[in-house]
Amino acid sequence: MLGTIWINTGLALLAFVVTFGVAWVSNVWLVSLERAGVAFLLFFLAAFPIRWLFGLIAPPSEPASTAVDADGAGSAESPGSTHPTGEQVEDSDEQDSFTPLTFAQPERNPLTEDPTTVAEVIRRLSDE
């Protein structure tokens, strides 16, 4: 089964809040609370088969494990580290190839009109 019981609880709480809010508009608070409780129960129980179906559809994810000898020492087969996908990664190449992203400064557009001329035009138009 995919996920934990917290998924069921979260989905049920969401259904509780939405149902209570919608029912509150046209019912008294006790009826709204009762309907929200029923929605909580139904959504909590309906999440179990949904999680089970998602568990069948989704491939199982296996945690990345490192090779450990019987004496507890790590495997000496690779000088570099291994990527979570299982690929061999050289430490020095990975660290040296990083370059930070830099942005060019945008060019400023020069003013096409003098601000004092624009101000005088606005004054003349507002006087008319």
pLDDT in tens, 32-56: 999 999 999 999 999 888 888 888 8
Per-residue model confidence (pLDDT) at position 38: 95
Predicted pLDDT at 39: 95
Confidence at residue 72, expressed as pLDDT on a 0 to 100 scale:
52
Alpha-helical runs (H) found in 1-128: 5-26, 29-57, 91-96, 115-127
Q: Give the residue from 11, 116, 117, 1 showing the smallest Cα distance to 55.
A: 1
pTM of the predicted model over 0.75:
no
Question: What pLDDT, on the 0 to 100 scale, is given for residue 51?
Answer: 84
Residues in the chain: 128
Reported as a single tens digit per residue, the pLDDT across 76-127 is: 454 555 555 555 555 555 567 878 888 888 888 777 888 888 889 889 898 8
d(CA 33, CA 39): 10
CB 12 within 8 A of CB 44: yes
Q: What is the pLDDT of residue 80?
A: 52
